[in-house]
Amino acid sequence: MANGPAVAKAVTDQDEFNPFLSMAKLFDRAADLLGLDAGLREVLRRPDRELTVSLPTVMDDGSTKVFTGYRVQHNFLRGPCKGGIRFAPDVNLDEVRALAAWMTWKCSVVDIPFGGGKGGVICDPRELSQGELERITRRYTAAIMDILGPDRDVPAPDMNTNEQTMAWIMDTYSMHVRKTTTAVVTGKPISIGGSRGRREATGRGVMLSAREAMKKLGRRPEDTRVVVQGSGNVGGIGALLLHREGYKIISISDMYGTLLNENGLDMPQVLDHLTQNRRLEGYPEATYMNSKEQLELDCDLLVPAATENQITSANADRIKAKLIVEGANGPTTAAAQEILDERGVVVVPDILANAGGVTVSYFEWVQDRMGYFWTEEIVNTRLEQVMVKAFADVDATAEQHGVSLRTAAYILAIDRVASVHRMRGVFA
């Protein structure tokens, strides 16, 4: 009996960090408020298709190693599935399921004609050569070929994948179908059908979401101290764009540690240092510290732009920011969200705040399919239009139902997908 509570707590903690269960909890709350019937809930909750593949790969030393890959297609109702592919040693099927579902809701929130998909390969890119990464990528692409295609499923970069990874996927797919098919992936180099503005899109979406939230809260950028967790395409670019808008970025981090300067960081200089040294450590105009307590620093705006499960029931009560704009996917657990709601912390959720990336991915897909490419100014203008409208739609839904922005985003997204299901019916 003495071990009972400890075991129960361990199970509870494990459940909190399971991204699929966290997503399901948020889904259920929104579905309750929408009054969805049990059958429709079951349709929208379950992934349409899950694929697990083994990837035998010849390593540089001549040995053969078998990697495991996943692709989950959550929902086809509004269009082809859309979502990134991540390479990481801790990728698991529940994580990929959750990310695929989040992509469905994200695409729906910004009202673009995609469903959600996500993929991953269990590997540590830091331990692999460029040649090994290419062979893994091409084998993975060949293994999931039957479910890919511009009208089926369109991958994109995610954690530890990039433009080069997408070029390998596009080439492998094109070789199999015997024609160059640029629209099979997004996030490609511009020279082979990529879109201008794509690399900056997620960070720009974070900046635009912060701007709209700040307007609603009646705050000015120049009076706002910002902490950014992460310094990649989302955190680094988001911090740079916020800096240009007049925000004071007091802290930014990478996987090794955190910079802190209460007077504000010079973000162009910080990013130049990061580019040259591949880590933030050593930047002279800031204190370098352990990242453990970065999220709890005294600030006005917090941008978690690293990975999932960063704000939890263990630290949510110590978050000092009054506004959180989520750059990462799933950085706040469902249990932590309840604590933040009770404390009156405004959270612009991931499925709205970081939707800039998938929005410009949609633009890239459109440009590839019509063979005509836009200027970066046009891309950024159209992205701003989409993000501003999406924020207004979510904010109006929040006021209508008297709920948080996160719950409102889920209500809006689920209602749009459910409406399409009702119109299309069930094929039997």
The CATH number covering residue 317 comes to: 3.40.50.720
Clarify whether residues 222 and 333 are in a common domain.
Answer: yes
Task: Please determine, for residue 126, whether its predicted confidence score (pLDDT) is greater than 70.
Answer: yes
Residue 246 domain flag = yes
For the chain, the maximum distance between any two Cα atoms, rounded to a whole number of angstroms, is 69
Instruction: At 335, list the tokens.
Output: 């249990």
- Name which of 119, 91, 118 is nearest 107 in CA terms: 118
Strand runs (DSSP E) across 158-212, as ranges?
none
At 405, the pLDDT band (50, 70, 90 cuts) reads very high
Mean pLDDT rounded to a whole number for the chain:
94
Give the count of beta carbons closer than 10 Å to the beta carbon of residue 202: 27
Instruction: At 331, list the tokens.
Output: 């950085």
- Name which of 1, 90, 28 is nearest 411 in CA terms: 28
Report yes or no: 251 and 227 within 8 Å, Cβ to Cβ: yes
Report yes or no: 184 and 150 within 8 Å, Cβ to Cβ: yes
Task: Please determine, for residue 292, whether its predicted confidence score (pLDDT) is greater than 90.
Answer: no
353-363: average pLDDT: 96
CA 407 to chain centre: 17
The pLDDT value recorded for residue 20 is: 81
Residue 363 domain flag = no
Question: Residue 13 contacts by C-beta under 8 Å, 6 or more apart in sequence?
Answer: none
Clarify whether residues 249 and 153 are in a common domain.
Answer: no
The pLDDT value recorded for residue 229 is: 97
Task: Please determine, for residue 130, whether its predicted confidence score (pLDDT) is greater than 80.
Answer: yes
- Name which of 184, 185, 24, 154 is nearest 97 in CA terms: 24
At 10, the pLDDT band (50, 70, 90 cuts) reads very low
Q: Which residues are catalytic?
A: 118
Question: Residue 360 contacts by C-beta under 8 Å, 6 or more apart in sequence?
Answer: 195, 197, 198, 201, 379, 383
Clarify whether residues 217 and 324 are in a common domain.
Answer: yes
Burial of 258-294, coded b for 16+ CB within 10 Å and e otherwise, reads bbbbeeebebeebbebbeeeeebeebeebeeeebeeb
Lowest mean pLDDT among 2-11, 103-112, 149-158, 231-240: 2-11
Clarify whether residues 108 and 227 are in a common domain.
Answer: no
Burial class (CB in 10 A: 0-12, 13-18, 19+), 137: buried
Vertex 400 angle, CA 382 and 308, to 5°: 60
DSSP 108-170: HHTT-S-EEEEEEEE--GGGS-HHHHHHHHHHHHHHTGGG-BTTTEEEEE-TT--HHHHHHHH
Residue 2 domain flag = no
Domain end (from 333, 348, 363): 348
At 14, the pLDDT band (50, 70, 90 cuts) reads low
Report yes or no: 187 and 195 within 8 Å, Cβ to Cβ: no
Task: Please determine, for residue 5, whether its predicted confidence score (pLDDT) is greater than 80.
Answer: no
Residue 230 domain flag = yes
400-406: average pLDDT: 95
Q: Which residue has the higher pLDDT, 355 or 426?
A: 355
Residue 365 domain flag = no
Task: Please determine, for residue 281, whether its predicted confidence score (pLDDT) is greater than 60.
Answer: yes
Instruction: At 337, list the tokens.
Output: 């969200």
Report yes or no: 301 and 236 within 8 Å, Cβ to Cβ: no
Overall pTM surpassing 0.85 (yes/no): yes
The pLDDT value recorded for residue 308 is: 84
Clarify whether residues 165 and 231 are in a common domain.
Answer: no
The pLDDT value recorded for residue 295 is: 96
Domain end (from 348, 374, 392): 348
Clarify whether residues 207 and 90 are in a common domain.
Answer: no
Summarised one tens digit per residue, pLDDT across range 62-97 is 999 999 999 999 999 999 999 999 999 999 999 999
Q: Is the dihedral of CA 326, 110, 116, 186 positive or negative?
A: negative
Where is 264: in which H helix or E strand? none
CA 77 → CA 58, 122, 362, distances in Å?
39, 29, 16
Residue 342 domain flag = yes
Domain end (from 325, 348, 371): 348
Clarify whether residues 205 and 174 are in a common domain.
Answer: no
381-392: average pLDDT: 98
CATH number for position 88: 3.40.50.10860
Instruction: At 317, list the tokens.
Output: 């009560």
The pLDDT value recorded for residue 282 is: 94
Task: Please determine, for residue 108, whether its predicted confidence score (pLDDT) is greater than 90.
Answer: yes
Q: Which residue has the higher pLDDT, 21 or 57?
A: 57
Summarised one tens digit per residue, pLDDT across range 254-276 is 989 999 999 999 999 999 999 99
Q: What percent of the chain has pLDDT over 90?
A: 88
Clarify whether residues 277 and 170 are in a common domain.
Answer: no
Q: Which amino acid is at 169?
A: I
Instruction: At 137, list the tokens.
Output: 């990528």
Clarify whether residues 119 and 225 are in a common domain.
Answer: no
Total count of domains within the chain: 2
Summarised one tens digit per residue, pLDDT across range 313-345 is 999 999 999 999 999 988 999 899 999 999 999
At 9, the pLDDT band (50, 70, 90 cuts) reads very low
Place of tokens 């009996």: 1
Clarify whether residues 176 and 204 are in a common domain.
Answer: no
CA 21 to chain centre: 17
Categorise residue 45: left if φ over 0, alpha if ψ from -120 to 50, beta otherwise: alpha
Clarify whether residues 236 and 287 are in a common domain.
Answer: yes
Residue 56 domain flag = yes
Clarify whether residues 328 and 208 are in a common domain.
Answer: yes
The radius of gyration of the chain's CA atoms, rounded to the nearest angstrom, is 21
At 6, the pLDDT band (50, 70, 90 cuts) reads very low
Question: Residue 50 contacts by C-beta under 8 Å, 6 or more apart in sequence?
Answer: 70, 71, 72, 73, 93, 97
Task: Please determine, for residue 151, whether its predicted confidence score (pLDDT) is greater than 80.
Answer: yes
Query: Domain span at residue 284?
Result: 199-348
Residue 21 domain flag = no
The pLDDT value recorded for residue 13 is: 60
The pLDDT value recorded for residue 246 is: 96
